[in-house]
Amino acid sequence: MVKVRNKRAQSITIWVILALALVAAMALFFTIEIGPEISIGSDKEFDAKRVVQTCIEDTIQETIERMIPHGGFIDDSNSIEYNRINISYLCLNKGNYLPCISQHPTYINDLKKEISENSEDKIEKCFQNMKIEAEKRNFDVVLGEMKIDIGFAINRVFVDIEREVKISKQENAETFNEFKFEIINPLYNLALIASEISNEEAKTCYFEYVGYNILNKETDIRKTTLDEGTKIYSIKDKKSEKEMNIAIRGCAIPAGI
C-alpha cells in the first residue's frame, strides 16, 4: 500500500515538474516571438528620431526668439535702429502728410518664410550630427531631400519636416518620413496685433492702443514717436514677457510745423 502511494506521489511530482517546464518554455517562447520589438533607430543608448527632433525644436525656438524683438525679421534692410536694435517697418511712407504703405501685405506668411529660411541650415546640421553619431554606433544612415512647413495658431508654432531617413544595421532597417511637433510661443498672437496696428495706421494714420490695452488684458502696447515721424509700437505678451517691436511711418509732419 505504501509503495502504491509512493508511486502515485512520484507520478504527481513528475507531472508538476513537466507542467512547470511547459509553462516556462511557453513564457520564453512568447518573450522571444511576440515581445516588444526594439526599434533599430531608437535603442536605449541612441534614439535617432528623438535626437533630431530635440535639435530642431531648439533651432526653431532660437530663430523665433531672434525674430520677435525686431518685428519678425532678423536682417531687414527696411528698418530703423531704436534702443540698439533694428526694428522693421511694417508700414512706411518716407514722405510727409500721406498715409503709410504696407511693407508686408502677406505678413503672416512672410513670418513663416522667415522661420524656414533662418532655420534651414541649422536643421540640416541637426540631421548631419545625428548621422555622425549613428555611424559611430555602426548604423548606416541615408538622408533624402528636406521640406520644411511652418504653421501658426494661438500660442503655437507648428513644425512639419518631410524627409526620408533610412537607418540600418546589418539586416535590420527602419525608415522615418516625417518629423511633426509644436512649439509653445506667442509669435502668432503678437503678429496678429502688429498686423492690426499696421492696417489701422495705413487707413487712418492712427491706432487706439490705450483703448486696446483696456479691452485686452493679455497684452500691453506702448507707443514711442521719434523726431523724424516714426512710431515705434512695443507689443508685450504679459504671460511670456516676450515683446515685439514694429516701426510705422505715415502722415508725418515736417519738423518745425
pLDDT at 44: 52
**For every residue of the chain, which 3-state class applies, written as one string?**
CHHHHHHHHHHHHHHHHHHHHHHHHHHHHHHHHHCCCCCCCECCCCEHHHHHHHHHHHHHHHHHHHHHHHCCCCCCCCEEEECCEEEEEEEECCCCCCCCEECCCCHHHHHHHHHHHHHHHHHHHHHHHHHHHHHHCCCEEEECCCEEEEEEECCEEEEEEEEEEEEEECCEEEEEEEEEEEEECCHHHHHHHHHHHHHHHHHHCCCCHHHHHHHCCCEEEEEEECCCCCEEEEEEECCCCCEEEEEEECCCCCCCC
Give the residue, 117 or 32, on which the prediction is more confident. 117
CA 205 to chain centroid, in Å, comes to 35
Give the residue, 15 or 91, on which the prediction is more confident. 91
pLDDT at 183: 95
pLDDT at 48: 86
Beta bridge partners of residue 245, listed in sequence order? 234
Residue with the three cell numbers 555602426: 138
Q: Give yes or no for residue 15 having a pLDDT over 60.
A: no
pLDDT at 22: 55
Assign 29 a pLDDT band (cuts: 50, 70, 90). very low
Q: Give yes or no for residue 255 having a pLDDT over 80.
A: no
Beta bridge partners of residue 149, listed in sequence order? 160
pLDDT at 36: 29
Which of 71-75, 104-108, 171-175 is least confident? Answer: 171-175
Residue 163 contacts residue 143 (beta carbons within 8 Å): yes
Q: At what angle do helices 48-67 and 107-136 cross, to 10 degrees?
A: 150
Q: Could you read off the pLDDT of 149-171 as tens digits, one per residue?
A: 999 999 999 999 999 999 998 88
Model's pTM, two decimal places?
0.80
Q: Give yes or no for residue 236 having a pLDDT over 50.
A: yes
Give the residue from 254, 249, 246 showing the smallest Cα distance to 101.
Answer: 249
Q: What would the mean pLDDT of 169-195 be, rounded to a whole number?
A: 93
d(CA 224, CA 227): 10
Residues 6+ apart with CB under 8 A from 52: 126, 127, 130, 165, 179
Q: Could you read off the pLDDT of 196-232 as tens digits, one per residue?
A: 999 999 999 999 999 999 999 999 999 999 989 999 9
Q: Give the rounded percent of residues in the chain with a pLDDT score beyond 90.
A: 73
Assign 41 a pLDDT band (cuts: 50, 70, 90). very low
Q: What would the mean pLDDT of 11-25 be, rounded to a whole number?
A: 53
Across the chain, mean pLDDT equals 86
- Residue environment code for 41-56, b if the CB has 16+ CB neighbours within 10 A, otherwise e: bbeeebebbebbbebb
